[in-house]
Amino acid sequence: MGDFQKLKVWQKAKKLAVSLYKITVQGPISKDYGFKDQMRRAAISIPCNIAEGDQLDTDKQAIKFFHIAKGSAAELLTQAIIAYEIGHLSKDHFDYVRQECESISKMLTKLIQARQG
Protein backbone atom coordinates (compact mmCIF):
# COMPACT_ATOMS: atom_id res chain seq x y z
CA MET A 1 0.00 0.00 0.00
CA GLY A 2 1.48 3.28 -0.94
CA ASP A 3 1.67 6.07 -3.43
CA PHE A 4 -0.11 4.68 -6.49
CA GLN A 5 1.23 7.50 -8.66
CA LYS A 6 4.70 6.01 -8.34
CA LEU A 7 3.58 2.66 -9.77
CA LYS A 8 4.84 2.33 -13.34
CA VAL A 9 1.72 0.35 -14.28
CA TRP A 10 -0.51 3.18 -13.03
CA GLN A 11 1.55 5.74 -14.97
CA LYS A 12 1.27 3.65 -18.14
CA ALA A 13 -2.47 3.08 -17.67
CA LYS A 14 -3.13 6.77 -17.01
CA LYS A 15 -1.18 7.69 -20.14
CA LEU A 16 -3.24 5.21 -22.15
CA ALA A 17 -6.49 6.71 -20.82
CA VAL A 18 -5.39 10.23 -21.76
CA SER A 19 -4.28 9.04 -25.21
CA LEU A 20 -7.55 7.18 -25.76
CA TYR A 21 -9.48 10.37 -25.03
CA LYS A 22 -7.40 12.19 -27.65
CA ILE A 23 -7.76 9.37 -30.19
CA THR A 24 -11.54 9.29 -29.85
CA VAL A 25 -12.13 12.98 -30.58
CA GLN A 26 -11.26 12.46 -34.24
CA GLY A 27 -12.33 10.19 -37.05
CA PRO A 28 -15.40 7.94 -37.31
CA ILE A 29 -15.31 6.86 -33.66
CA SER A 30 -15.89 10.45 -32.54
CA LYS A 31 -19.44 10.27 -33.89
CA ASP A 32 -20.27 6.82 -32.48
CA TYR A 33 -21.10 8.23 -29.05
CA GLY A 34 -22.06 5.02 -27.27
CA PHE A 35 -19.03 3.09 -28.49
CA LYS A 36 -16.66 6.00 -27.84
CA ASP A 37 -18.01 6.41 -24.30
CA GLN A 38 -17.71 2.67 -23.61
CA MET A 39 -14.07 2.69 -24.72
CA ARG A 40 -13.35 5.74 -22.59
CA ARG A 41 -14.96 4.16 -19.52
CA ALA A 42 -12.88 1.00 -19.96
CA ALA A 43 -9.69 3.03 -20.41
CA ILE A 44 -10.35 5.15 -17.32
CA SER A 45 -11.24 2.08 -15.28
CA ILE A 46 -7.71 0.69 -15.59
CA PRO A 47 -5.73 3.38 -13.71
CA CYS A 48 -8.65 4.06 -11.34
CA ASN A 49 -8.77 0.45 -10.16
CA ILE A 50 -4.98 0.31 -9.82
CA ALA A 51 -5.11 3.44 -7.66
CA GLU A 52 -8.00 2.20 -5.57
CA GLY A 53 -6.40 -1.18 -5.01
CA ASP A 54 -3.06 0.30 -4.05
CA GLN A 55 -4.70 2.44 -1.36
CA LEU A 56 -6.53 -0.39 0.41
CA ASP A 57 -5.46 -1.89 3.70
CA THR A 58 -4.59 -5.42 2.64
CA ASP A 59 -2.91 -7.10 -0.29
CA LYS A 60 -5.97 -9.34 -0.66
CA GLN A 61 -8.17 -6.28 -1.20
CA ALA A 62 -5.62 -4.71 -3.54
CA ILE A 63 -5.32 -7.83 -5.67
CA LYS A 64 -9.08 -7.84 -6.26
CA PHE A 65 -8.87 -4.34 -7.79
CA PHE A 66 -5.77 -5.22 -9.80
CA HIS A 67 -7.75 -8.10 -11.32
CA ILE A 68 -10.57 -5.69 -12.16
CA ALA A 69 -8.02 -3.39 -13.85
CA LYS A 70 -6.75 -6.38 -15.84
CA GLY A 71 -10.31 -7.13 -16.91
CA SER A 72 -10.76 -3.53 -18.03
CA ALA A 73 -7.58 -3.78 -20.11
CA ALA A 74 -9.02 -6.87 -21.81
CA GLU A 75 -12.32 -5.05 -22.32
CA LEU A 76 -10.56 -2.07 -23.92
CA LEU A 77 -8.50 -4.35 -26.16
CA THR A 78 -11.66 -6.12 -27.32
CA GLN A 79 -13.30 -2.79 -28.07
CA ALA A 80 -10.21 -1.62 -29.97
CA ILE A 81 -10.23 -4.80 -32.07
CA ILE A 82 -13.87 -4.23 -32.98
CA ALA A 83 -13.30 -0.50 -33.60
CA TYR A 84 -10.41 -1.30 -35.92
CA GLU A 85 -12.33 -4.00 -37.79
CA ILE A 86 -15.31 -1.68 -38.44
CA GLY A 87 -13.06 1.19 -39.53
CA HIS A 88 -13.38 3.34 -36.42
CA LEU A 89 -9.66 3.20 -35.52
CA SER A 90 -6.61 3.55 -37.74
CA LYS A 91 -4.02 0.78 -37.78
CA ASP A 92 -1.56 2.99 -35.87
CA HIS A 93 -4.07 3.83 -33.15
CA PHE A 94 -5.16 0.20 -32.89
CA ASP A 95 -1.55 -1.01 -32.64
CA TYR A 96 -0.84 1.52 -29.90
CA VAL A 97 -3.89 0.54 -27.84
CA ARG A 98 -3.18 -3.18 -28.34
CA GLN A 99 0.47 -2.87 -27.27
CA GLU A 100 -0.40 -0.80 -24.22
CA CYS A 101 -3.23 -3.09 -23.09
CA GLU A 102 -1.02 -6.15 -23.42
CA SER A 103 1.87 -4.47 -21.60
CA ILE A 104 -0.36 -3.20 -18.78
CA SER A 105 -1.91 -6.66 -18.39
CA LYS A 106 1.53 -8.26 -18.06
CA MET A 107 2.60 -5.63 -15.53
CA LEU A 108 -0.57 -6.22 -13.51
CA THR A 109 0.09 -9.96 -13.51
CA LYS A 110 3.53 -9.29 -12.01
CA LEU A 111 2.10 -6.84 -9.47
CA ILE A 112 -0.54 -9.38 -8.43
CA GLN A 113 2.12 -12.07 -8.02
CA ALA A 114 4.28 -9.72 -5.94
CA ARG A 115 1.36 -8.84 -3.66
CA GLN A 116 0.44 -12.50 -3.22
CA GLY A 117 3.77 -12.94 -1.52
Burial class (CB within 10 angstroms; exposed 0-12, middle 13-18, buried 19+) of 76: buried
Walk me through the domains of the chain, giving residue ranges and CATH numbers.
4-116 (1.20.1440.60)
Reduced to 3 states, what is the DSSP secondary structure of residue 56?
coil
Q: Please check the confidence at residue 1 and state whether its pLDDT lies above 60.
A: no
Angle at the Cα of 48 from the Cα atoms of 115 and 19, rounded to 5 degrees = 115
Reduced to 3 states, what is the DSSP secondary structure of residue 2?
coil
Q: Each residue of 69-115: pLDDT tens digit?
A: 999 999 999 999 999 999 999 999 999 999 999 999 999 999 999 99
Question: Alpha-carbon distance 9 to 45, whole Å?
Answer: 13
Return the DSSP state at 26.
S
Q: What is the pTM of this model?
A: 0.95
Burial class (CB within 10 angstroms; exposed 0-12, middle 13-18, buried 19+) of 73: buried
pLDDT at residue 117, as a whole number: 78
